[in-house]
Structure 1
Amino acid sequence: MSGSAHGHTTAAWTGVGVSFIGFIIAAVAMVVPSPVLVAVGLVVAALGAVVGKVMSMAGFGKKAGSSHTAAPSNQTPIGSGV
Structure 2
Amino acid sequence: MAGSSHGHTPAAWTGVIIAFIGFCVAGAFMVMAQPVGFWAGMGIVLLGGVVGAVMRSMGLGQPKHAHPVHQTTGDRAKAGAES
Provide the alpha-carbon RMSD of the alignment.
1.7
Q: Which runs of 5+ in 1 are unaligned?
A: 68-82
Opposite residue 5 of structure 1, the aligned amino acid is S
**Residue matched to 1:62:** 62
Identity, in percent, stands at 48
In 1: Cα distance, 2:40 partner to 2:16 partner: 17
Residues 27-59 of structure 1: CA deviation (Å, up to 9, x unaligned): 000111100000000011011111000001111
Structure with greater contact order relative to length (CA < 8 Å, sep ≥ 6): 1
Runs of 4+ in 1 over 4 A off after TM superposition: none
- The number of aligned residues is 68
The 3-state SS of whatever aligns with 2:40 is helix
Aligned counterpart, 2:40 = 40
Partner AA of 1:14 in structure 2: T
1:1-82 equivalences in 2 (<5 Å) = 1-66=1-66
Q: Structure 1 length as normaliser, TM-score?
A: 0.74
Q: Distance in 1 between matches of 2:50 and 2:6?
A: 18
